[in-house]
Amino acid sequence: MVKARVVWSGSVPILFEIEGHAGQADYGQDVVCAAVSVLGQTALVSLDEIAGIHNLDFTVEEGYLLCRLPMDLSKVQRETARILVESMVLGLRGVAESAPDFVKLFTEEVESDAY
């Protein structure tokens, strides 16, 4: 089971975390796991290269991805990050809806005085 979690403060993404393996097929043949992995890693790279957030706090390991966004983002970086993370969430939601036995998506809202 893959569990994806996205934490927001209002419209600002704070972090996203993806962990586990779908187990839908044998290793290397699991298209569900591959889809989730591509969505998470594309969001991570896009935050760096498109949003210009070069000081991301992230961990990428086998079956695990965690990305914490810094709190000192410019207005443009916050808006770009919102769009990029929302795009990832749309993709994850689609995968979770088509493979509900293998992927769960959770979103959380937290209060933050920093934004």
**Residue 84, in any domain of the structure:** yes
Confidence band (pLDDT; 50, 70, 90) for 23? Answer: confident
pTM (2 decimals)?
0.92
Q: Going edge to edge, which strands form the sheet with 2-9?
A: 57-61, 64-68, 12-19, 2-9, 103-109
**Residue 114, in any domain of the structure:** no
% of the chain at pLDDT higher than 70: 97
- Integer Cα distance of 41 and 24 in angstroms: 20
How confident is the model at residue 27, as a pLDDT? 76
**CATH number of the domain that 57 lies in?**
3.30.70.1490
Residue 85, classed as helix, strand or coil, is helix
**Residue 115, in any domain of the structure:** no
**Residue 14, in any domain of the structure:** yes
- For 26-79, what is each residue's pLDDT tens digit? 777 889 999 999 999 999 999 999 999 999 999 999 999 999 999 999 999 999
* Total of domains in the chain: 1
